[in-house]
C-alpha cells in the first residue's frame, strides 16, 4: 500500500481505468440514487449484491451457528480451527447471507479460511439490538464448535455491527476466554447520529445514498433509541484493548468520516488500527471485484491481514483488557 498521509490513514490512488469504470457507473446509476426505501427494496438489494462473480474454488453450504442461520463460504483448503464471521450490509433493513456469499467467498479465498455469513434479524420487524444479539450468538456458536481463531468482518451496517461485536467479544469472551484475533470493516457505519462532516461534504459525490434515505433506514432500526449508544454506534465506545483493525472506505461516500473518526479514536486508545481511503471509490467498492482494479487490491490486502491474524497463537482476554475495553 502506498501514498501514506500518516501511520494510520493512507490515501490510495485512482487509476485511469478505474476512473473510467466509476464514471460509467455514475452515468448508469445516478438517476437511481436514494430510491431504495424500506423493506420493499430487499429483493432489489439482494439482486445487486448477488451479481458479484463467484470466486474460483469456493464452495457454499447453508448452516445454523449459535441458533443463527447463514452460509459457509469455504476455500479449497481451509485451515482448521479458524473462521471469519461476516456481518453483511444493508442499513440493518436489507441483505441476506445467500446474496452475499459470493462476495464473502472472495474474502474467504484470499484469507485461506472458511467464512460464515450470518443472517441476523433485520429491522423494522426486529429493531435494535436484535442484530447485535444475533451477531453475538453466532460468534459464541463458532467458539462452541471449537473454533479458536476468529476474525470479524463486515461491510456497511455490518461493519458497524462487527466493530460493536468486537468490543463485546473482547470484554465478555465467555468461560473459554477466546477473543477475536482482529477485524476488517468495509465502509462501516459507526455513527448512527450522522454527525460526520462527510454527510455534508460528500453528499453530492456519494453515488448510492442520500442523507434523508439513510436517516429513515436508521430510524427503522433504532426507533427512539439513543444513536450514541456504543452498542449501536461503535464510534462512541471505549476502544482500548481491541485487537488489530483494518478499515477500507471510498473517498466519495458520505460514510467516509465514519471510518476515519473511528480509526482515529481507536489509535488514540492504543489499538493497532488503520484506514485505507481509496480515491474516487464508492461505498463497499471491493464488491466490484472483476470490474475495479482497486477492489482486487483491497481484497488482497484484506486477505493478507486476515491470514496473518488468524495464524497467531491464540490468546485470551486479560483482566486489563476486560477492564478498559468497555462499551
| Active site residues per annotation | 156, 253, 283
Which 3-state string (H, E, C) describes 30-41?
HHHCCCCCCHHH
Distance CA 101, CA 72 (A): 8
Contact partners, residue 301, CB within 8 Å, separation at least 6: 1, 246, 248, 276
Residue 216 half-sphere exposure, CB side, CA atoms within 13 Å?
11
- DSSP 3-state of 182: strand
Cell triple for 72: 459457509
Query: How would you class 175 by CB atoms within 10 Å of its CB: exposed for 0-12, middle for 13-18, buried for 19 or more?
Result: exposed
Give backbone dihedrals phi and psi of 146, rounded to 5 degrees, phi first.
Answer: 90, 10
SS3 content of the chain, % helix, strand, coil (to 5): 40, 15, 40
Smallest Cα–Cα separation from 86: which of 153, 25, 33?
A: 153
How would you classify the pairing of strands 149-155 and 182-186? parallel
- DSSP 3-state of 274: strand
Contact partners, residue 322, CB within 8 Å, separation at least 6: 170, 171, 172, 173, 241
CB 222 within 8 A of CB 192: yes
Q: Using the structure block, give the residue that is written with the C-alpha cell 467516509.
A: 256
Q: Which is it for the CA torsion 156, 113, 183, 72, positive or negative? A: positive
Amino acid at each position: 500500500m502506498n501514498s501514506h498521509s500518516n501511520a494510520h490513514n493512507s490515501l490510495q490512488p485512482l487509476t485511469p481505468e478505474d476512473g473510467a469504470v466509476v464514471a460509467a457507473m455514475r452515468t448508469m446509476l445516478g438517476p437511481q440514487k436514494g430510491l431504495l426505501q424500506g423493506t420493499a427494496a430487499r429483493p432489489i438489494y439482494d439482486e445487486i449484491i448477488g451479481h458479484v462473480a463467484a470466486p474460483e474454488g469456493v464452495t457454499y453450504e447453508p448452516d445454523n451457528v449459535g441458533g443463527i442461520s447463514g452460509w459457509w463460504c469455504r476455500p479449497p483448503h481451509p485451515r482448521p480451527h479458524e473462521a471469519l464471521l461476516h456481518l453483511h450490509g444493508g442499513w440493518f433493513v436489507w441483505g441476506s447471507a445467500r446474496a452475499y456469499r459470493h462476495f464473502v467467498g472472495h474474502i474467504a479465498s484470499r484469507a485461506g479460511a472458511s467464512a460464515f455469513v450470518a443472517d441476523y434479524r433485520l429491522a423494522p420487524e426486529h429493531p435494535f439490538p436484535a442484530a447485535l444479539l444475533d451477531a453475538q450468538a453466532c460468534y459464541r456458536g463458532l467458539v462452541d464448535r471449537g473454533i479458536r481463531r476468529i476474525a470479524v468482518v463486515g461491510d456497511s451496517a455490518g461493519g458497524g455491527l462487527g466493530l460493536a461485536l468486537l468490543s463485546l467479544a473482547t470484554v465478555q469472551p465467555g468461560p473459554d476466554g477466546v477473543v477475536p484475533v482482529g477485524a476488517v470493516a468495509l465502509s462501516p457505519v459507526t455513527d448512527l447520529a450522522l454527525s460526520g462532516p462527510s454527510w455534508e461534504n460528500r453528499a453530492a459525490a456519494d453515488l448510492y445514498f442520500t442523507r434523508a434515505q439513510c436517516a429513515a433506514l436508521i430510524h427503522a432500526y433504532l426507533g427512539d433509541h439513543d444513536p450514541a449508544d456504543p452498542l449501536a454506534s461503535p464510534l462512541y465506545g471505549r476502544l482500548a484493548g481491541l485487537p488489530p483493525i483494518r478499515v477500507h472506505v471510498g473517498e466519495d461516500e458520505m460514510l467516509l468520516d465514519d471510518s476515519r473518526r473511528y480509526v482515529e479514536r481507536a489509535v488514540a486508545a492504543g489499538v493497532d488500527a488503520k484506514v485505507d481511503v481509496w480515491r474516487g471509490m464508492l461505498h463497499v467498492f471491493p464488491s466490484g471485484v472483476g470490474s475495479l482494479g482497486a477492489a482486487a487490491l483491497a481484497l488482497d490486502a484484506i486477505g493478507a491481514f486476515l491470514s496473518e491474524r488468524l495464524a497467531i497463537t491464540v490468546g485470551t482476554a486479560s483482566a486489563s483488557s476486560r477492564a478498559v475495553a468497555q462499551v
